[in-house]
Structure 1
Amino acid sequence: MARMTMIEAIRSAMDVSMGRDDTVVVFGEDVGYFGGVFRCTQGLQQKYGVTRCFDAPISESGIVGAAIGMAAYGLRPCVEVQFADYVYPAYDQIVSEAARLRYRSSGEFTCPVVVRMPTGGGIFGGQTHSQSPEALFTHVSGLKVVVPSNPHDAKGLLIASIEDPDPVIFLEPKRLYNGPFDGHHERPVTPWSKHPLGEVPDGHFTVPLGKASIRREGSALTILAYGTMVYVAEAAVEETGIDAEIIDLRTLLPLDLDTIVASVKKTGRCVVVHEATLTSGFGAELAALVQQYCFYNLEAPIARVAGWDTPYPHAQEWDYFPGPARLGQAMRETMEA
């Protein structure tokens, strides 16, 4: 076991996968010699050579398109899109080619591609470096969508994603990359951006895709969260004193509906929290599923707490984020309903 940041855990996952399987290749913008804008691939080119970890032109459609062709040929590409905001030129390749290759070929071809990308805010990156586009991918049949919240899960989920025969969108919350904000670069110190390090096993291990984690057991209500919002949920529980059960979804597609349903049936109340825009966000799907499967167990309306329905507000970033105060208010209202 080693203490790692999420960046180190993600790097370790790629290192382990490349060491075990010669067909695993890593490429993207600046991921080779430079080691990636967040240093997630640092040292991999030096260790495995320029044919297995290399830089790509500034063309997201080209990066993902090339990866799909490599996958059909028999390789396992793990590619990086430098920010989730940059993925839109590659969206057609992901939706029209990667997600459908298995079905269009009647199973003759699969598409074992992982598309890694930093997601969410926290670095004052404004509208073009801070988006949370997970709902655009959970709507697409044939994809898997993963959002880790801690170093242990990040490594285990990434290795599982690389080994999976189908395309995986791997979203990495950048606020969790290096740990708590310490006041540098005007970043506020917040109690819900803690827990930077995690105990991570050395070598190979996997966390199964499609299985949620119960981060905190409780009986009063269920909080459904993923990524950074898991820590918002923990802080809100501490501040309100409400005995909430916190479910870290980890994988949005396929979704661990059994764990969600069992929790809500036990507590009778549900609050959903995510950083992305509220309207048509993934929380709407979660609320619909909870209503469908837990209607007769619900003692209050399902609540959603999310980002504003606006373009990403650069100057008001920390007001845009759902924090413990907003989530706590929703929890109290749900308990009083």
Structure 2
Amino acid sequence: DENTMQIWFMTQLSNYLKAHGREMIGWDEILEGGQVPDSTVMSWRGVDGAVQAARLGHDTILAPAPMMYLNNIQSPNDGSPGRGDLVTMQGVYDFNPTPDGMTEEQSRHVIGVQANLWVEHLRTEESVVYMFYPRIAALSELAWTPAAGRNWQDFVTRLTPQFARYDTLGIGYARNALDQTKLPPPPQGQRRYDHQMRSCNNSVPLNVFDDAAGPDGVRATFSMDLFNPCWMYDAADLSSGGQMQISVGQVPFNWQILHDIDNVKVRKPATPYGELEIRVDSCEGAPVAVVNLEAASRNNATTVVNATLPAQTGRHNLCLMFTQPGIDPTWVLDWVRLAPAAN
């Protein structure tokens, strides 16, 4: 059976490495087939793998998702590329590397912590540095300082000279890493970027770089629900109608999600290029505005399109979504600006 085959293979591999003066380190899946001798377990699916490994007498390294995955955003106001789970610097600092339920003897098998940074959505070295720093400082103190010697407020005080060192060295660290209060969206009349809007399902977004740079050489970053690209612009004052500017772009659908691809919503278009549809108070029913995307489809970077919204009393939530002929490429938003309709 599968488990027997796995434990046989892992044991053969472990024995081979040991014979050559090495020791196997494996993700916590290696425990699924049974106990692998002379192996260290890297626990990434939470902390349960570390607890199980320690109880079996294995050394273990804590690298659990999402807290030790630094490809997740670090501030609720962060629109940088990466995954949308919020992993704050304080969350990293306060992580407990010896999970509850371990005895003192078992906790000795925890030989360290590891942060991971998956870069499939980080296309520049600057983006990688931004995601590492300054959270790597919190990880370092967590790993090297006994619990009794760690104090968050003292750590924050010591960050000021540390940031000065980063500046001297030219390290492009995230300056919003200590900003943990989510800001309200910009007021109507100003640009409201996609990460400052809600997804229609309140799902965790994925932030990705545009493939192409604009005329200024800057790549847009799109915040999107991979399975249902749809955005909510909350509390729009439509008492005088609205003139909406929308910056749109396209990204290739190159995510390897196997059978989950069947769960991606693709809305049937009326034209070969797709449309942007805007609805009021709901994502169902007839749209109040439809924008043809033929011209935008010929631009590899972002394109600003316009829509006129009819006057309605009071404030309303606007639902913005796309139709498209297929899953690849996928239409996405960059920013929206809503102003009163011209008289």
Q: Where is the strand percentage greater, Structure 1 or Structure 2? A: 2
Highest CA radius of gyration, 1 or 2? 2
TM range (shorter): under 0.3
Structure 2-normalised TM-score? 0.26
